[in-house]
Amino acid sequence: MPKITVIGAGFVGATAAQRIAEKELGDVVLTDIVEGLPQGKALDLLEAGPLFGYDSKITGTNDYKDIEGSDVIVITAGIARKTGMTREDLLKINTKIITEVSQNIARYAPDSVVITVTNPLDIMTYVTLKTTGFEPGRVFGMSGVLDSGRFAAFIAMELGCSIRDINAMVLGGHGDTMVPLPRFTTVTGIPITELMTVSTIQRLVERTISGGAEIVNLLKTGSAFYAPSAAVTNMVEAVIKDTERIMPVCAYLDGEYGKKDIYLGVPVKLGKGGVKQVIELKLASDEKKALDRSAKAVMDGIASLKVVN
C-alpha cells in the first residue's frame, strides 16, 4: 500500500488521517511533537478499522525517521488562527515550524509529494519549497479546493439544489484576497450568473472569502477542520490514484498568469508526482485585477520573510 504521512496530529491532521484511512488510500503515519498525542489518536483510528471496514494501517510517532518512504506528506503542523488574528499574524510562528518540518522531510522523505495545509497557506507552501529544495510540482497547497467547496456549499444552500451538481472555482491567495469566479462556477454546466442576481452572487462571494473567519468566530476557541481535511483528502486521492483531476490548488507559478516565483491558487491537473499542468484561464479585466491584488498580498508576505532563493 502507498505510505501517506500526516505531520501534525491536531484536529485537521487527525481528521485527515481518518478520512485517508477510511478511503484506504494507503497506510497512514501520524506524527506530532507532543508525546503520546499521535500514538493515541493513531491507535483509536486503528481500532475503528474493524468497525468501518478499512484495512489501512495507522501508526503514531514523534520521530521524523518514521516518515521514510512516504509517497505523500500532508503538513498540518502549526498554530491555528484565533479570533481577531489575521492569517498574516501567523507568519512568524508558523514559518519557524514549517522550516523545521520541511528540513526533516528533505532528510527522510526526499522523493515524496508534499501538500501544505498550514496557514498562511500560500506563504507556508513557498517556505516548504525553498526549504526542501524539491521540484515545484511536488510541493503545493490546499487553498482553492477548500474555498471552492465553501463557495459550492453556499450556492447549494441558496438555490436549494444538490451539491453534487455544483462546480465552483476560486483562485488567488487562501485568505482575504481570494478570488471566487462566478463566471467559471456552474450548476450542471449552467453558470451561476444565469441563476442568481448580481447582489446574491456578491453576498455569497463575500461569505466565501470570510468562510474561515466565520467558523473561527462561531467556535471561539478553534478553527475549521472537517472541510479542510476533506479538501486535502481529495488532493491526496488525486495523487495516489493518478486521476489527473483538475482542481484549484496553491501551485508554483513560473510565468503563468504573468507571475513568477510565487505560490497562488490556480486550476491545475493533479496526479502522480503532483502538479502535472497549470491551467491558464482567460480572465476578464476585473478578474485579472483581483488576482493581481491577491498575488501582491502573497508576494508582500513572502518578502517580509526574507526567504533566500
What percent of the chain has pLDDT above 70? 96
pTM of the complete model: 0.95
DSSP class of 172: B
Q: Is the pLDDT of residue 89 over 60?
A: yes
Residue 176 phi, psi dihedral angles, 5° rounding: -70, -15
Q: How far apart are CA 133 and CA 153, in angstroms?
A: 37
Q: Give CA–CA dist 288/198, Å, rounded.
A: 19
pLDDT of residue 309: 43
Q: Which residues contact 182 (CB under 8 A, 6 or more apart)?
A: 191, 192, 193, 201, 205
Q: What is the mean pLDDT of residues 44-69?
A: 97
Beta-bridge partner residues of 75:
7, 116
Model confidence pLDDT, tens digit, residues 143-169: 899 999 999 999 999 999 999 999 999
Structural domains in the chain plus CATH codes: 3-141 (3.40.50.720), 144-305 (3.90.110.10)
Mean pLDDT, residues 107-130 taken together: 96
The whole-number pLDDT of residue 185 equals 98
What mean pLDDT is predicted for residues 232-247?
Answer: 98
Mean pLDDT calculated for residue range 105-114: 98
The rounded distance, in Å, linking the Cα atoms of 104 and 68 is 10
What pLDDT was estimated at residue 87? 59
> What cell was used for 130?
525553498
List residues with catalytic annotation: 174
* First-last CA distance in the chain: 36
Rounded-to-integer distance, Cα 308 and Cα 302, Å? 10
In whole angstroms, what is the distance from residue 267 CA to residue 270 CA? 9
The three three-digit cell numbers of residue 195, written as one number: 441563476
C-alpha 108/C-alpha 208 separation (Å) is 38
3-state secondary structure of 211: helix
Asked whether residue 82 carries a pLDDT value surpassing 70, the answer given is: no
Cell 491507535 appears where?
Answer: 43
Q: What is the pLDDT of residue 308?
A: 44
What rounded mean pLDDT belongs to the chain? Answer: 95
Asked if the bond preceding 228 is cis, omega within 30° of 0, the reply is no
User: Could you read off the pLDDT of 259-278 as tens digits, one per residue?
Assistant: 999 999 999 999 999 999 99
Report which residue type is found at 220.
K
3-state secondary structure of 143: coil
Cβ atoms of 9 and 38 within 8 Å: the answer is: yes
Provide the 3-class DSSP secondary structure of residue 253.
strand
User: What are the two backbone dihedrals, phi and then psi, of residue 23, each rounded to the nearest 5 degrees?
Assistant: -85, -5
Q: In the chain, what's the furthest Cα-to-Cα distance?
A: 55
Tell whether the model's pLDDT for residue 306 goes beyond 70: no
Q: Three-state DSSP class for 188? A: coil
- pLDDT value at 142 more than 70: yes
